Amino acid sequence: MDWPVQIHSSFDGHDLDSTSKACLCDLGVQMGNRKALNRHRLPPDQPPDLAQIYDTIPIGLAFLSPDCRYLQINQRMTEICGIPVADHLGRSVRETLPRLAEQVESIVQSVIATGEPITGIEVSGERPDETGTDRFWTTSWQPLKAGDGTIIGVNVAAEEITHRKRTQAALAFANISRQTTMDAMTASIAHEINQPLAAVVTNATAGLRWLAHSPPNLDEAKMCLERVVNDGHRASAIVASVRGLFGKNTSERVRVDPNEIIREVLSHVHGDITNGNVALQTALAKKLPQVLADRIQLQQVLSNLVLNALEAMSEVADRERTLIVKSDRQEPDAVLLTLEDTGPGIDPAYLDRIFDPFFTTKAKGMGMGLAICRSIIKTHGGDLWASSKASAGTILHLTLPIA
């Protein structure tokens, strides 16, 4: 049976993609019967005939009957569907692509009911040869009309956009992750700066109380003001250090004595140690080699580790709260610093994860402090890791190469 065929194209120059697909659909109309194709076949010395073009064009093409059976399909469409040509022809979409059947049938019914093409519609689902992986296609649907206007089928043009969709999703996820990281980093930096600022307020308040005595205790007030100045400089140094960290600036690295850095940090947090009812013990090696480091960054790392230890012991009530800070040489060419606390310790399953960004065992916190500390030590050529004590508590180990 030969069907009289009416070709419909609607190229208006405004939507090249959808119009091109509509024209390709119209091209597929002519594949519905061989005589119609032969009328358009070119001589052998001319460009390829329509059958060759239809089969090799890089967009998937198919012709569906009103009951959604494949009457014609090109090679690209079979590649998109993952099913050979022979397994399509004469079979319904529900038989070949059951996971997409509902979407396809709905579109075909709409085209047949209205007689109007549908372009640029996205279809998604699993292929029969793949499980658990959604694919995405942008499609155009063109009605095929007989001479009397009766719709005898629908031509489909499909282009796979799975890679594009996955790339877009990956970019969106990367943007969200970057924003989350920046939010957490901002919170962590604010926490670091808040420490010396809180000390400023504490010492300034104490100084006012000494001045309010009758007579005023000027010596004590002076000592408080000196601590205010020192804490102010420490806050300023933290800001400069963070700026240097993000700029990967190593010009401020100088030879420093690790023991001196430890003493400075313990002096800064002396009030926290006292207020936490923590017994401090130190075992600092004599004649410890110097290391090449950014002094402020190293201070911040040690300060963060000490304050973490104090926080870990804040809930301990059945044993003495003790902080032990040690330094020693680690052969052949490094310095080893350790901080031991008598807190609840860390689950062995988490020891390798506590330095990961956003991982935290605390009820509050963003999980960025230890991640930043390790990052700083790594940029200095050292390492930072944790281990559990045999009794109770945690040991943090920090190594730095000798200058």
How many percent of the chain have pLDDT more than 70?
79
Query: Could you give the CA distance from residue 30 to residue 3 in angstroms, rounded to a whole number?
Result: 10
pLDDT in the model for residue 358: 59
pLDDT in the model for residue 188: 66
pLDDT in the model for residue 359: 58
Per the structure, the complete domain to which residue 308 belongs is given by 250-403
Residue 196 lies in a domain: no
Residue 178 CA, distance from chain mean position: 6
How many percent of the chain have pLDDT more than 90?
36
Residue 222 lies in a domain: no
Domain tally for the chain?
2
Q: Are 32 and 71 in contact (CB under 8 A)?
A: yes
Give which of 372, 309, 359 is closest to 339, Cα–Cα. 309
What residues contact 4, with CB distance under 8 A and at least 6 apart? 146, 147
Residue 187 lies in a domain: no
Q: What is the DSSP string of 62-104?
A: EEE-TT-BEEEE-HHHHHHHTS-GGGTBT-BHHHH-TTTHHHH
Higher pLDDT among residues 170 and 278, named by residue = 278
pLDDT digits (tens, 9 = 90+) for 262-293: 999 998 888 889 888 999 999 999 989 999 99
Handedness of CA 213, 214, 218, 220 (dihedral sign): negative
Final residue before a domain boundary, out of 101, 129, 160: 160
pLDDT digits (tens, 9 = 90+) for 39-89: 334 455 666 677 778 878 888 899 999 999 999 999 888 887 788 888 889
pLDDT in the model for residue 3: 39
pLDDT in the model for residue 184: 63
Residue 394 lies in a domain: yes
Q: Give alpha helix (H) positions in 247-354.
A: 258-268, 270-275, 295-312
* Average pLDDT of the residues of the chain: 80
pLDDT in the model for residue 81: 78
Residue 324's pLDDT band (cuts 50, 70, 90): very high
Of 73-87, 225-239, 244-258, 353-367, give the lowest mean pLDDT range.
Answer: 353-367
Q: What CATH number is associated with residue 289?
A: 3.30.565.10
Q: Are 377 and 384 in contact (CB under 8 A)?
A: yes
Final residue before a domain boundary, out of 99, 132, 160: 160
Query: Could you give the CA distance from residue 190 to residue 196 in angstroms, rounded to a whole number?
Result: 11
Residue 167's pLDDT band (cuts 50, 70, 90): confident
Average pLDDT, stretch 378-389?
91
Tell me the CB-side half-sphere exposure of residue 355, using CA atoms within 13 A: 19
pLDDT digits (tens, 9 = 90+) for 145-155: 998 889 999 99
Q: What are phi and psi of 155, to 5 degrees?
A: -90, 140
Query: Could you give the CA distance from residue 99 to residue 362 in angstroms, rounded to a whole number?
Result: 45
- Identify whether residues 142 and 26 lie together within a single domain: yes
Is 16's pLDDT higher than 60? no
